[in-house]
Amino acid sequence: MRPLSYARARDEADAIALVGGDPASAFLAGGTTEIDLVRLGVTQPDRLVDINDLPLADVGDMDDGGVRIGALARMSDVARVPAVVERYPAVAQALVLGASEQLRNMASMGGNLCQRVRCAYFRDNISPCNKREPGTGCSALEGLNRGHAILGTSEHCIATHPSDVAVALVAFDAVVHTAGPSGQREIAIDDFYREPGDTPEIEHPLEHGELIVAIDLPPLAVARRSSYRKYRDRQSYEFALVSVAVALEVRDGAVADVRLALGGVGTKPWRARRAEERLIGAPATPESFAGAAAAELSAAVPREHNAFKVELAQRAIVRALSDAAGGGAR
């Protein structure tokens, strides 16, 4: 591991100045991903700026009925907040399913959103990888790609985004608040993540030194009837092959409102808008759910080892919607 210098930020302005004024500095929160990448040599900052003293860990109600989550709130704490459990159960479930309890106790919400991909070719620091070294190629295209994406891919990158909670946040139109050298701004979470296109090294719109300070969950009645399902190779603390965040409202046997997002299949947390559009007003039946799932996966580009994800994702969508209809119909 290469030598590093360390600084502890006194406040937001200090943190932004320390990192924004030095291209070789990076923020340090929980460190559950950042330290691993430094040890592997994938990222090579000269200085880590500890932001854990910043007052950004609160979770509370907003005036409009939504919930604001501080960027330094720990995953385990957010998963237990009554307002989150009651109003956005899919978020609480995704947090619990996202990591072991030890990691959840350390990992921050802001850090979780910014975590890097788990592609072995990105992390081995040897293989050609456009995300790590632009222009070198994507080893996963013809390599071992069982866990890689089938939606939102390009010929430059097919890595999936690993976050579980980001899938639920995308389903509910969360908003990311930031502060940086250019001031404060709000970013819709679906815009926070980018498909790789021909610049896979650019994963989000944050400028250097820009800090996530909070995540807002807007008021959303249908979110109270939400759930998060995760399908993986083992039941304990594994990344998703396919995951589904779903919220469904059924009136008189037809879909009145629906939110649907997928993990494990996209290069970003994948909002299933094709499926949502097809479902609104449709009968709340397995046949309708299957048609919507097929429509969403029609754009999939499977590779040699991950073609099974197309059917698995469709089945997962149908199962999640069917269960939601059974519990939320009226």
Tokens representing 61 are: 């109600």
In this prediction, residue 328 carries a pLDDT of 43
What are phi and psi for residue 313, nearest 5 degrees?
A: -65, -45
* Least-confidence region, from 34-48, 150-164, 176-190: 34-48
Q: Quote the strand ranges of 51-174, DSSP E.
A: 59-61, 67-70
Span 192-220, mean pLDDT?
Answer: 97
In 3D, which of 84, 13, 78 has the Cα closest to residue 49?
Answer: 13
CA separation for the pair 322, 248 (Å, rounded): 10
Q: Mean pLDDT, to the nearest integer, of 202-212?
A: 97
Work out the average pLDDT over 62-90: 97
For residue 3, the model assigns a pLDDT of 83
Beta bridge partners of 330: none
Cross-sheet strand order for the sheet of 25-28: 5-8, 47-50, 25-28
Beta bridge pairs of residue 188:
175
Question: Quick check: 207 pLDDT over 50?
Answer: yes
Average pLDDT, the chain: 96
Mean pLDDT across the stretch 191-206? 97
Is the pLDDT at 329 greater than 70? The verdict is no
Residue type, 243: S
